[in-house]
Each structure stands twice: as structure tokens, then as C-alpha cells.
Amino acid sequence: MTKAEQARRLAWRFKVLGTGPWLWSLNPDTRIIRRISSGLKVYSSIDASADGRRLVATISNPTAKLASLPILDRVTTDDDVRPLGLPTVRAWAPRYGGSTIFYLSSRGGGDGLWRYDAIEANEIWRGSAGALLEPPAVTRDGRRIVVVVRKQGKRTLTLLSSEGGDVQPLAPAIDVTSAASWSPDGKWIAVGGIDGSGAGLFKIPADGGTPQRLMTGTATNPVWSPDGTLIVFTGPVVAALGSLVTVHADGTPGEALNIRVRVGTEHYRFMPDRPQLVYIPTPNQVSPEYFWLLDLPSKKARQLSSVNSRSTRTFDITPDGTQIIFDRLKDNSDIVLIDLPQP
């Protein structure tokens, strides 16, 4: 066996297993597994030296915080950004329902759903019941919420009240592929997913009725317009960028918006009371990303900010339409060397 083959074998030998946040080793000859780390460090990558005596690892120390940015007649800057004071250390994926802000956070495990009403923050869906990886969908009045929960290899919708009760599954036959969106009247949920006929965009009755397919093909992160007539979603993906497409609520195809966003983000939201779309376009994979505003009737767009938003997963607009509330996610990874005990 060459040194290169030995190194590859040892690199496989010391991979992270899916039990806990710890680092484990597996001897491929004896099939003996043992834990070689302690604490709550999360290892995002690992490799081994050719002689198996030392590991190089990446330890992730992620942070997630919310901030606000005013929507003004001028282009706002970093000086206009204000941190959003929340009682939880971690906060991301903000969504408004009435005057209440809902967001994802955790107490050390998977992210659950929290609500903050300017007085106190309460966890209404525990991450131990199913870690949440997508922003919640919240009705305009904030009384009902839909979350995407992964169980047994499938992602489905779960409906609950603003207090965390009345939990019930929705459209279990659809394997959900992204975040969902409520219709303004609270009667429907739009979501991208896959059923027995393939991928598409679906309109699901909130009362648990039969889902309706609006279109066929790749469709993720739908967002409903304030008047309920139009849905904007991410369509075909090319080189990790998706194009924004529209469809009418009755399934009539709309038009493409000539806007591309990064896959894995929810970078567009409607203003609460008018047909204007706030969005973060992605010109390429390295350039800064800024907030823009598109007026759909006139097709006129203007830049809202010069704040680089590449660390933003998603955002929302305050109910009065004056502020953007956005998250900032950072990996804060450290590279460490680990000397292994020798037999």
C-alpha cells in the first residue's frame, strides 16, 4: 500500500460519525469504534496524517444575530444598521406575524421556534421535537405558523398555533423542498415540494384539504403578494443561482423577473401593503450583495442599501414597512491539530 493510499484510508478511518457532536474513530480492520474527543465542539471537517498519529480538524463556532436597517429614500449604509436586542444569544430566520417576531434559536441542540413580543421571548417549538432548518411561515395576524420538520428522511409541514399548541401535520404526501408562505387571507399555504407526480409548486388548504398543484418543475421559497393574486418563487437553478419566476394564485403562469438569487437563501420578501419586492440579487459568487426594491407594476428597481448581505440567510419587513429585519450568520471556524494516543 502506497503512502497516498494509506493516508486516504486513515482519513476515512477518522471521519465524524452522526452520534452527538463528538469525534469518533473507526478501525476498518477490527471494526472497533471509540470516541476521541469530549465536550460540545462541532467538527465540520477532518483529515489525518499518513502515519495516523495526528489529525487536522475544523471546529465550527457559529453565531447568528438579527439586525435592522431602515427603508429610506436614500441608499443606507453600515452606519444605519442597528442590532436587534433579543434575550436569546442565537437568532436567525426572522418572520413577522402582527407585531410579534418569530425566529429560530436553540439552547444548545437543534434550532427551535421562538416568539418575541417586545416583552419576553418564549420557545414554542423545541428543537428536540425536530430541528428546524427553514424559516417559519406565519399568518399576517401571527396566530398560526407552519414549520418544516424532517422526520424519517422526509420533510413535511406541521401547523401550530402562535403559542405552540394545536399541532397537526399538513399534506404529508409532499416532500417539502424549501420554506413555505401563507396567503394573505390565511386560507392557503404555498410550498415547493415533490409528490408522486414529481417536483412542483403546491397550494395547500390550511384546513387540511387536498393540495393543488400550481405548476410543475423546480420551485422553491414561494412568497405571496399582499393582495393574494401573485406568488414569486425561485425557479430553475444554474451554477448555484436561481431565477425568480411568478405564478398567479389560480395557477396561471406569470413572468420571469430577471433576478437571480443564491440557492439556500430566502432573499426576497414583499412589502406588507403594496406590490413591491425587497430582494438581494446575486451578481456572481464573490461580489457583495445589497438590498434592492422592485416596483412590480412599473418594473422599476432601485438600490436600498450598500450593506454587504452575503452573510444573510433571510430577512423580513416590519408590518409598517419601514424596516428590514435580517440575520447575520458567521461560521467562525478554527483549525486545530489533534495528537492521537498511540496503542
Asked if the structure places residue 45 within a domain, the reply is: yes
Rounded CA separation 92/340 (Å): 37
Who wins on pLDDT, 18 or 306? 306
Q: Is the pLDDT of residue 61 over 80?
A: no
Looking at the fold, whether 160 and 244 belong to one and the same domain comes out as: yes
Confidence grade of residue 46 (pLDDT, cut at 50, 70, 90): confident
Task: Tell me the per-residue pLDDT of 78-113, one tens digit each, with 9 for 90 and over.
Answer: 999 999 989 998 999 999 999 999 999 987 678 999
- In this prediction, residue 91 carries a pLDDT of 96
pTM to 2 decimals?
Answer: 0.84
Quick: pLDDT tens for 132-190.
999 999 999 999 999 999 988 899 999 999 999 999 999 999 999 999 999 999 999 99
Whole-angstrom CA distances from 121 to 113, 114, 153 are 10, 7, 31
Flag whether 126 is in a domain.
Answer: yes
Last residue of a domain, one of 60, 75, 108: 60
Contact between 263 and 241 under an 8 Å Cβ cutoff? The reply is yes
Choose the weakest-confidence range: 19-28, 71-80, 192-201, 312-321.
Answer: 19-28
267 and 162 fall within a common domain: yes
Confidence of residue 23 (pLDDT cuts 50, 70, 90): confident
Same domain, 76 and 31: no
Q: What is the pLDDT of residue 16?
A: 39
Give me the pLDDT at residue 22, please.
67
Is the model's pLDDT at 18 over the cut of 70?
no
Write down the pLDDT at residue 343: 59
Say if 340 falls within a structural domain. Answer: no
Q: Which strand (E) or helix (H) includes residue 10?
A: helix 3-13
| Domain identity same for 105 and 174 | yes
Which of the pair, 333 or 318, is modelled with greater confidence? 318
Please indicate, yes or no, whether residues 111 and 161 belong to a single structural domain of this protein: yes
State mean pLDDT over 114-140: 94
The answer to whether residue 234 is domain-embedded is: yes
Distance from C-alpha of 96 to C-alpha of 142, rounded to nearest angstrom? 7
Domain that holds residue 56: 3-60
Question: Across the beta sheet with 112-116, what order do the strands follow?
Answer: 92-97, 100-105, 112-116, 121-125
Calpha distance 23→34 (Å, rounded): 9
Question: Which pLDDT value is given to residue 7?
Answer: 41
Kindly report the CATH number assigned to the domain that includes residue 312.
2.120.10.30
237 and 322 inside one domain: yes
Asked whether residue 175 is assigned to any structural domain, the reply reads yes
The b-or-e profile of 160-177 (16+ CB within 10 A means b, else e) is: bebebeeeeebbeebebb
Same domain, 304 and 326: yes
Assess if residue 337 is contained within a domain.
no
Q: What is the mean pLDDT of the chain?
A: 89
- pLDDT for 50 equals 80
CA distance 197 to 142: 33
- The grid cell for 274 is 403594496
Task: Tell whether 338 is covered by a domain.
Answer: no
Q: How far apart are the first and last CA of the chain?
A: 21
Q: Clarify whether residues 54 and 193 are in a common domain.
A: no
DSSP per residue over 113-169, as a string? Answer: EEEE-SS-EEEEE-GGG--B-S--EE-TTSSEEEEEEEETTEEEEEEEETTS-S-EE
What's the pLDDT band for 233 if we cut at 50, 70, 90? very high
Q: 285 and 158 in one domain? A: yes
- Give strand pairing partners of 33: 26
Half-sphere exposure of 158 toward its Cβ, with a 13 Å CA cutoff? 22
Q: 104 with 135: CB under 8 angstroms?
A: yes
Identify whether residues 265 and 143 lie together within a single domain: yes
Contact present, 191 and 182 (Cβ < 8 Å): no
Q: Which segment of 54-63, 74-83, 91-100, 213-222 scores lowest on mean pLDDT?
A: 54-63
Top mean-pLDDT range of 31-45, 50-64, 237-251, 322-336: 237-251
Q: Are 278 and 304 in contact (CB under 8 A)?
A: yes
Number of domains the chain contains: 2
**Range with the lowest mean pLDDT among 107-116, 228-237, 278-287, 300-309?**
107-116
Which pLDDT does position 278 carry in this prediction? Answer: 98
Over range 217-229, report the average pLDDT.
96
